[in-house]
Amino acid sequence: MSFRVVRSSKFRHVYGQALKREQCYDNIRVSKSSWDSTFCAVNPKFLAIIVESAGGGAFIVLPHNKVGRIPADHPLVGGHKGPVLDIAWCPHNDNVIASGSEDCVVKVWQIPDGGLSRTLTEPVVDLVYHQRRVGLVLWHPTAQNVLLTAGSDNQIAIWNVGTGEVLITLDCHPDLIYSACWNWTGSKLLTTCRDKKIRIIDPRKGEVESEAIAHEGSKASRAIFLKHGLVFTTGFSRMSERQYSLRTPDALAEPIVTVEIDTSNGVMFPLYDPDTNLVYLCGKGDSVIRYFEVTPEPPFVHYINTFQTPDPQRGIGMMPKRGCDVATCEIAKFYRLNNSGLCQVVSMTVPRKSELFQEDLYPDTLSDEASLTADEWLQGEDAEPCTMSLKGGYVSGRAATQLHVTKKNALATTKDRDKDRSPTPAAKLDRHADSHSGTPASATPPPAVSAAVEKQLSDLVDEIRKLKSVIVKQENRIRALEAVMKASPLPQPASPPPCAAPLVPDATNHETDGMAPDEV
């Protein structure tokens, strides 16, 4: 006799449940672009969706509490001159979002707490490098203000958003780049391309460490890094059957497992949860969400279940674990965009009877703190992402952090910078006086003010002095006019003086003619 042993897993009974329509977002004009993008980005504060817009590209940003029917005149983020193709929230600042568009420009926006009260057209910074449309924007998982962009010019640019300059450019793809993904520490980059190859790249060296053909089909493929270094890909076979595969970075050409799913023609987006090691497959045009668990035991990728809905989806966004409800054992939350304009919220839950915090379901998850600065990462440092505990639920304890962009002056020479750092003559005199008075110079160091700043201050003082003189002249003119008006008799209505102000009739005259004070 043979006995079938059921695999033991705490995620074997995960089920999906769609929220009621009044708890979802309705009347959203989702973009009709044919670009293979998710059209949706979510974080614990906001929901962003690319929408149809006349005269350029735009996307809508909604706070999570603004559910129900969205007014047609709701404010948008609309500074692009072409349709928006991809958007991504910054993982270290929940108020900053980047967008790429067909106008070849990447824009970074600051969204105020509470959402938009009017249409936003001025970005924090414009990132201009690509010669053709930008279809992919991706933030670095550990370094502050590091953004990756990929365009139809087959170029990848890695930016320091804090200075608005390009750190690295990668030109190692012969054709259109479909997707890109950082590894857990942000030291390696995984890309898929129209030439059917997946590549693992060291971005700081600009070298392709390994490459291999992933899927034989000619349609778009996707690839992601899993937490422990494995590579998960989705694509099409030579017979246009959708399939997924699991690979090791050392042997990309030899997949550990390859499984065919169905014969639909929609591109599958793999959405990964590193805390639970679950992979969710969401196809464009599908009405289902399939989810799998990746384990070290064969067959390595275990099918769990399928969430079924009656409506096909145009796009989808996944909430970071910080935004999930730990009280109901919610391990994932999805925002599905339907053709009807409804953004449906789907909650993935593990059934548990206890209402206590489930530590086995919620290990320490990614926080909103950066581990490195952009300069540290560029110099070759790597660090694990900062993590946090979800016990008690996540509450954003800090207010909106303003993104400041400091542009570097590429024309400034070393001599000029040294000159700017040198103390001014006034500072030298102060230092000389302190030395004669017995006060050590190191006790009160003079502030180093550059010559350019001193010139700006002197110009500002001159402007204030001119403004004061104008005010004094105007006061004297007004006093002279008042004196003339008091001394001269009342003018006739037929010929009023050209420069005189309208006179107010005296209230005492109305007593003699029997008229009320408000009558003429």
pLDDT tens column, 128-184: 999 999 999 999 999 999 999 999 999 999 999 999 999 999 999 999 999 999 999
Distance CA 92, CA 162 (A): 13
Structure tokens at 177: 């780049």
Helix ranges, 346-450 (H) = 374-378, 414-421, 425-437
Amino acid at 442: S
Structure tokens at 45: 């504060």
- Residue 210 has what pLDDT? 95
Residue 5 has pLDDT above 70, yes or no: no
Percent of the chain whose predicted confidence (pLDDT) is above 90: 71
Residues in contact with 442: Cβ distance below 8 Å, sequence separation at least 6, in sequence order: none
- Residue 486 has what pLDDT? 85
Q: Which residues, in sequence order, are bridge partners of residue 269?
A: 282
Distance CA 183, CA 226 (A): 7
Q: How many CA atoms lie within 13 A of 382 on its CB side?
A: 10
Phi, psi of 478 (to 5 degrees): -65, -40
Q: Where along the chain do its domains lie?
A: 29-320
499 or 270, which is more confident? 270
Percent of the chain whose predicted confidence (pLDDT) is above 70: 83
- 295-299, 331-335, 420-424, 464-468: least confident range: 420-424
- 158-162, 194-198, 304-308, 478-482: least confident range: 478-482
pTM: 0.77
Say which residue the tokens 């008042």 belong to: 482
Closest CA to 340 of 24, 30, 69: 30
pLDDT per residue as tens digits for the range 207-258:
999 999 999 999 999 999 999 999 999 999 999 999 999 999 999 999 999 9
Quickly list DSSP for 192-240. EETTSEEEEEETTTTEEEEEEE--SSSS--EEEE-TTS-EEEEEE-TTS
CATH code at 29-320: 2.130.10.10
Q: Which residues, in sequence order, are bridge partners of residue 292?
A: 279, 303
Question: Residue 490 — very low, low, confident or very high, per pLDDT cuts 50/70/90?
Answer: low
- Residue 337 has what pLDDT? 96
Distance CA 58, CA 120 (A): 10
Distance CA 275, CA 484 (A): 83
- Residue 355 has what pLDDT? 84
- Please check whether residue 163 is in contact with residue 144, taking contact to mean a CB–CB distance below 8 angstroms: no
Amino acid at 329: C
Over residues 357-377, mean pLDDT: 94
Residue 419 has pLDDT above 70, yes or no: no
- 15-24, 146-155, 280-289, 390-399: least confident range: 390-399
Distance CA 281, CA 265 (A): 14
Residue 389 has pLDDT above 50, yes or no: yes
- Residue 498 has what pLDDT? 53
- 359-368, 436-445, 472-481: least confident range: 436-445
Distance CA 517, CA 520 (A): 8
